Structure 1
Amino acid sequence: MTGVRVVEVAQFTYVPVAGAILADWGADVIKVEHAERGDAQRGLSNLGGTDSMGGFAPLMEHPNRSKRGIGLALEKPEALDVLHDIIRNSDVFVTNFLPDARQKLKIDVEHVRAVNPNIIYVRGSALGSRGPEADRGGYDSPSFWCRGGSAFGATPPSLNGTLNQPGPAWGDTIGGMNIAGGVSAALFAREKTGEPSIVDVSLLASGAWANALAVDIALNGGEVRRALDPRNGPASPGNPLVGMYTTADDRQINLCMLQPGRYWADFCQHIDRADLLEHPSFDTTEKLMKNWEEAAKIVGEAIAQRSLTEWAERFTTLEGQWGPVQNALEVGNDVQLRANGHVATVVDSHGISRELITGPVQFDETPAAPGRAPQFAEHTDEILKEFGADEEKILSLKIAGAVT
């Protein structure tokens, strides 16, 4: 994305995180914040107990890494003129402002395209740009997770309630990746055809897409699927090698061997139960699948004999597919994640080295090397000068309250 400039008028995580991905890929992303209030998410920056991290707030760094920041009071004509200068020299405009706000601030499609007819215009919304609720805002928990079907699907029937998202900005981050993909396709199309696109991505559509196979099954007469109920045992019906099993140290292992006949013999060797290969209930694939509950009980008893660490060592040679259930800190320290360069070191504004997870896409086997997020309006003067303003002009803009 080197040579591509993106101007971002957006707040919180959804949409800004798309800009972070594009910045990771080399784009020059200019983050526009209100000259006085800034991005509203700055007020939530102590999320997760990180308020004592010397000004380094993961809630801001995650969606704003590698960008440049400018403070503009877009309700003032002088600030809008500055934005127009940036738009004229940009390839992509991204926003998550609602329709009324876009019209009020004169940043809707017709306004932006009047300044730069070739710009790709990107709207990230909660519920889409059409329909009776197009003007409603939303966050990922109600729009992506709950309305998109994942909350219902992830909650086993025996739970008295509904599961929340596994972590902060869960749907926002996935939705932002969808936006980045859409921007990439739009840039490619413009290169091929000369025509700029309007790109729309909603949290609802992203949630439905994440849950698409379950929705497809339901729409075509199949069952409305939910998570397996732990009360009914660890395994998936018909296959003792698919399910969650508990280790001796009360950790969980997920087995996901979709071809039980292929993997059964090797698995039994690894759990020191080669005798099961001659067991009359499991000596053919058909019998194994028919008697899956009996087999799952035996597998569960075997897994419960050793710790997760012991199984991880034993399963290094296992042919079938499995994975440990890890918490967020364990994910960040996963040897495979780090070996592939998906944990980046970022130097914060105080010169302290921090770590951030990178986006999942790499090019030419080269890990992303993000920079830190901008402090509030950090690059205002730099950006103004880049687009032709001298010191006198910058001072007049500040006196007018148009920029910070």
Structure 2
Amino acid sequence: MHRPMEGVRILEVAQFTFVPAAGAILADWGADIIKVEHAETGDAQRGLVRVLGLDAGVGSSFAPIMEGPNRGKRSIGIALDKPEARPVLEELVKRSDVFLTNYLPAARRKLGLTLEDIRAINPDIIFVTGSGFGTEGPDSENGAYDATAFWARAGSADGTTGPGATSVSQMPAGAYGDNIGGMTIAGGIAAALFGRERTGQTTEIDVSLLAVGAWATQFSVNLALATGGPLPKVERTTAAPGNPLTGNYKTSDERWIQLSMLQPTKYWDEFFGVLDRSDLVGEPRFDTMDKVVAAHEEIKLEIAKTIASRTLEEWKSAFKGMTGQWAPVQDAWDLGHDEALEANGRIVELTDADGRQQKLVANPVKFDRAPVELTRAPQFAEHTDDICRELGFDDEGLIGLKIAGAIT
């Protein structure tokens, strides 16, 4: 069963990436996701042209900023603020297993999208919110982006910023925390569906960006709580203190290799054999952990000098089959062509709205070793008429809704 969510219908009233990313994952898993967009402007993310200083689109109908979190969905344009649109929304709610939103509480109250409103229409529906700071507490009404709640407030920005820095480190990719949070929401929905199947009881779910960020940095948070205060800032070096077979080393072509051999004496002879450093293989000066720690600066310099003598591609070839743990430091282009991702079907081809072949990263969960089949994200309100007809509206009804401005 490589599409275990087939037969599940999810109504997504959300925009940007945090919550829509959850819908994309569930669509990958087989769910039917109906995406509600504003009848005139659509998902606000469609208007973003630059993210982290980069162009958000590629000059065609295929814009990665929309495709990633919205592939596999159907889009309907509804003016939720118009009373004429309410029958359409209510029919969608009645036919859905899950109501998924990231609208702020004030907007949900104004539009009649609260838990009580939705449960009055469908008592069995699973009600899911993605929030900035949770449904309770002083910030429960406030909005957030992953740069604020996940990255800055939840510790990742501080944890990746070294002592004496002149600026705080930034997220390594657009929608970084949003995509991690989306996976968390998808898992929560899967658990809620399972629980409803077993017990007959429905569930309200909230996942906040702050809580996802705290979970990601929990080692540091737990350590700070256990030690009774903020953790000291530690200067990041190319190798871990005392173990030169960990850390990163620069190649001759200005690329980097990450070593992570936490038991250096176990991998010592193999590693230095691969480096063609026979002078260090079996060297009695470094045959115990204590000796390695004592001489780690000397060893680190020897490794750095040797790694710097060849290109990254040369080292990738030399390191094939080595049991010691290492990795090339890859950029986004490298990752999109990673042999392991491609072999496991995690880079997937699909056809865009212009009929051209494109590629997207698949969600990381693999069922039955089966390939993931992706379809493109919908164009704005692309499926409005089809969905309304499924709900029982005939041509006359559709025309009336459009004249009233209730649907796109």
In structure 2, the residue matched to 1:381 is: 385
Q: SS at the partner of 1:253?
A: strand
CA RMSD, aligned part only? 1.5
In structure 1, the residue matched to 2:231 is: 224
1:132 aligns with 2:105: no
State TM-score, norm by structure 1: 0.96
Q: How does 1:105-254 map to 2 (within 5 A)?
A: 105-221=111-227, 224=231, 228-230=235-237, 234-254=238-258
Q: SS at the partner of 2:227?
A: coil
Q: SS at the partner of 1:274?
A: coil
1:12 Cα offset (Å): 0.6
In structure 1, the residue matched to 2:12 is: 8
Which segment is superposed worse, 256-265 or 277-286? Answer: 277-286
In structure 2, the residue matched to 1:49 is: 55
* Aligned partner (choices 78, 97, 102) of residue 103 of structure 2: 97
CA contact (8 A) 2:153 2:210 kept: yes
Q: Which amino acid aligns with 1:108?
A: T
In structure 1, the residue matched to 2:322 is: 318
1:81 Cα offset (Å): 1.5
CA contact (8 A) 2:57 2:64 kept: no
Q: SS at the partner of 1:15?
A: helix
Cα distance in 1 for partners of 2:128, 2:383 equals 23
Cα distance in 1 for partners of 2:29, 2:194 equals 15
Cα distance in 2 for partners of 1:255, 1:111 equals 54
In structure 2, the residue matched to 1:275 is: 279
Q: Which amino acid aligns with 1:149?
A: G
* Aligned partner (choices 294, 307, 330) of residue 290 of structure 1: 294
CA contact (8 A) 1:45 1:59 kept: no
Q: From the superposition, tell whether residues 208 and 227 of structure 1 become closer, same or farther in structure 2 (CA, over 3 Å).
A: farther
- Which residues of structure 2 form unaligned runs of 5+? none
* Aligned partner (choices 333, 340, 360) of residue 336 of structure 1: 340
Q: What per-residue deviation string (whole Å, max 9, x for no partner) do you get for residues 90-146 of structure 1?
A: 000000011110000000100001101111000101111111011110100111111
Q: Which amino acid aligns with 1:318?
A: M
Q: What per-residue deviation string (whole Å, max 9, x for no partner) do you get for residues 339-371 of structure 1?
A: 111111121111111111111111101121111
* Aligned partner (choices 362, 367, 370) of residue 371 of structure 2: 367
CA contact (8 A) 1:154 1:226 kept: no
Q: Which amino acid aligns with 2:217?
A: N
Cα distance in 2 for partners of 1:199, 1:290 equals 52
Cα distance in 1 for partners of 2:267, 2:253 equals 25
Cα distance in 2 for partners of 1:169, 1:349 equals 23
Q: How many residues align?
A: 401
Q: Which amino acid aligns with 1:171?
A: G
1:228 Cα offset (Å): 4.8
Cα distance in 2 for partners of 1:229, 1:220 equals 23
Q: Which amino acid aligns with 1:141?
A: A
CA contact (8 A) 2:57 2:65 kept: no
Q: Which amino acid aligns with 2:231?
A: V
* Aligned partner (choices 63, 79, 86) of residue 69 of structure 2: 63
Q: Which amino acid aligns with 1:210?
A: A
1:81 aligns with 2:87: yes
CA contact (8 A) 2:126 2:192 kept: yes
1:285 Cα offset (Å): 2.2
Q: From the superposition, tell whether residues 144 and 34 of structure 1 become closer, same or farther in structure 2 (CA, over 3 Å).
A: same
CA contact (8 A) 1:150 1:211 kept: yes
1:278 Cα offset (Å): 4.4
Cα distance in 2 for partners of 1:34, 1:238 equals 57
CA contact (8 A) 1:19 1:29 kept: yes
CA contact (8 A) 1:46 1:57 kept: no
State TM-score, norm by structure 2: 0.95
1:336 Cα offset (Å): 1.3
1:279 Cα offset (Å): 3.7
1:225 Cα offset (Å): 6.4
